[in-house]
Structure 1
Amino acid sequence: MPVSAGQDHNVVTVLHGGEHPPGLGSKAGDTHLRFASTENELAEALPGSDVLLTWDFTSDAVKQVWSSDLTRELRWVHTASAGVDRVAFPELLAAPVTLTNSRGVFDRPMAEFVLGAVIAFAKDTARSLTLQREHLWQHRETETVAGKVVTVVGSGPIGHAIAGLLTAVGMTVRLVGRRAADGVHAFDELPGLLPDSDYLVLAAPLTDATRGMVHTGTIALLPERARVINVGRGPLIVQDDLTEALRGGRLAGAALDVFEVEPLPADSPLWAMENVLISPHMSGDVVGWKDMLVELFVDNLVRYRDGDELRNVVDKERGYVSTSGGNQ
């Protein structure tokens, strides 16, 4: 069923975390915008709001202040992220509100990030940079990416974009989703795909089924030459298990954009590992990404006012958008 604004309701509360969405005020028309950056401000702004935009998708403020008294008139919650784990808490999931995400904005940038990590590992880029800083000329042989086998967990738009780019450079890609479909392996087939995987790429949503999916047992199925790339969510990996495997030479390397705790603590041993590439949760953040997020939200806001179907409606039981783009 479409969700739409009532006659007297056109109030959007924006949880912004200190940085307002660029251009939202001019693009939202006659919408009344309320801005909040803290839990207290959010609690004050929510009563009477029918829409909540969680621009600061790293904040737990929505969960902390949620109550039926504050959210009685709320009809729609939108998060400026692809993942919804910050807002998919039981009280919101049980409430009669529609939840949407920003699926589609990050697909190509994240795919390029993964391709870049693969190339960096194959061409030993980190070592070259170290030798350059030391003014050392050290000839080495590197790997080719063509013919390497990649298992990508997450068969939504991001996973498909990753598969497209990696296939284009000659890699053999297997997509893994919640259930089997055309060109997609079911999640329970994953153990059988790991032993010949040169790369394991995680681009899955964080759900009860995927949380902690990479652990000592999973790693034991991978060959020692394998590298793990995580652009999904940090808790997809049991970080201590991965750290130990990397330290002991059980895996060849890892490129990690997300972590169990963010920012990654300064005393984490991952920082000092030469076979680890670390980035601060930025794989999808390219020039103009915030403008694209605003455009998506405003498009949905127009649909909401007109009583049309919203884009990117999250299936609350599955924890991700389950239509228009294949399995996840």
Structure 2
Amino acid sequence: MKLILPVEIADEIEPHLPENNTIVRVDGEGNIDGDATDAEVYFSWFYLKPTTLHRVLDAAPSLRWHHAPNAGVNHILTPKHLERDLILTNGSGVHGIPIAEFVIAYLLAYSKRLPSLYKLQNEHDWQRGLPIQELFDKTLLIIGTGGIGQEIAVRAKAFGMRIFGSSRNARPLPNFDKVSKSAQ
């Protein structure tokens, strides 16, 4: 089987493929480094441009499966993509934990004033009395209670925060103290 892989990850993935698989690399502009006419699988990369997608589709008439690593695929569903009989899969659900951890990291950095403390430490300034807050008993509003929002709620709740959510349907969810319907 032949796969079309983005240059950003091709070298990392290639050693793990069975011997009978080959790859063709594509860069962010859609430049393909070999013959893709018999390629069956295209794994695109984040920030896929329509021009890149269309160059791949033109170069790969045997393509059967397109996988996008991001959750949203609206930008991929161009008329040219839709006219092909392709299976399209995405990375929906895989980003919840890493993004939630980044959100908590930023909440902690802000509440503990880590950038200021780091700067003072580098200047050998051992000030006392720099106001630092706790996350405990604070209120967090999460706009969007899908997979990512729910993972944020789990982690924020572990810090003792009150969690409010805003969603299209306002259904009650675990780890949220209240979910309200967002204005359409």
Q: Report the alpha carbon displacement of residue 140 of structure 1 after superposing the two structures with TM.
A: 2.2
- Residue 176 of structure 2 corresponds to none
2:98 to 87, 109, 113: 109
> Gaps spanning 5+ residues in structure 1: where?
1-9, 190-328
Shift of 1:34: 2.3
**CA distance change for structure 1 residues 181 and 66 in 2, over 3 Å: closer, same or farther?**
farther
For 2:39, what is the secondary structure of its paired residue?
coil
Q: 1:127 and 1:81, CA in 2 relative to 1: closer, same or farther beyond 3 A?
A: same
Match of 1:53 in 2: 43
Which residue number in structure 2 is paired with residue 127 of structure 1?
A: 116
1:173 corresponds to 2:168: no
Q: Is the 8 A contact 2:14 2:23 kept in 1?
A: no
Change (3 A) 1:16 1:178: farther
1:33 is aligned to 23
Question: Can you list the C-alpha shifts for 1:158-177, whole angstroms capped at 9, x where unaligned?
Answer: 22211100011011223334
Name stretches of at least 5 consecutive residues in structure 2 with no aligned partner. Answer: 174-178
Deviations, residues 14-69 of structure 1 (Å, cap 9, x unaligned): 1224x425244433463343223352317x64433221111x323425335255x5
Q: 1:29 to 1:156 in 2, by over 3 A?
A: farther
Is the 8 Å Cα contact of residues 135 and 160 (structure 2) preserved in structure 1? yes
**Counterpart code for 1:119:** L
* Partner SS, residue 92 of structure 1: helix
Is 1:150 the counterpart of 2:136? The answer is no
What are the Cα deviations for residues 206-245 of structure 1, in whole angstroms up to 9, with x where unaligned?
xxxxxxxxxxxxxxxxxxxxxxxxxxxxxxxxxxxxxxxx
* Partner SS state of residue 25, structure 2: strand
Aligned runs of 1:255-294 on 2, under 5 Å? none
Q: Is 1:100 matched up with 2:89? A: yes
SS at match of 2:98: helix
Aligned to 1:12: 3
Contact 1:13-1:45 within 8 A present in 2 as well: no
If the length of structure 1 is used for normalisation, what is the TM-score? 0.46
Moved over 6 A (4+): none
Structure number, greater radius of gyration = 2
Is the contact between residue 25 and residue 33 of structure 1 (CA under 8 Å) also seen in structure 2?
Answer: no
Q: Return the alpha-carbon distance in structure 2 between the equivalents of residues 105 and 85 of structure 1.
A: 18
**Counterpart Cα distance in 2 of 1:175 and 1:81:** 23
Amino acid at match of 2:117: S
Are residue 159 (structure 1) and residue 149 (structure 2) matched?
yes
Distance 1:161 1:83 in 2: 18
Alignment-derived partner of residue 118 in structure 1:
107
User: Which residue type is aligned with residue 152 of structure 1?
Assistant: I
Pick closer, same or farther for the CA change 1:156–1:130 going to 2, 3 Å. Answer: same
Distance 1:179 1:14 in 2: 38
For the 8 Å contact 2:100–2:151, the answer to whether it is kept is yes
Cα pair distance change 1:100/1:29, threshold 3 Å: farther
Q: Is the aligned partner of 1:140 residue 2:130?
A: yes
Cα root mean square deviation, aligned? 2.9
Aligned partners of 2:81 and 2:145: how far apart in 1? 26
Identity of aligned residues (%): 25
| Cross-structure match for 1:188 | 183
* Alpha-carbon spacing, 1:161–1:15, altered in 2? closer, same or farther (3 Å): same
Relative contact order higher in (CA < 8 Å, ≥ 6 apart): 1
Distance (Å, rounded) in 2 between the aligned partners of 1:21 and 1:82: 24
Structure 2: how far apart are the matches of 1:178 and 1:29? 48
TM-score, structure 2 normalization: 0.75
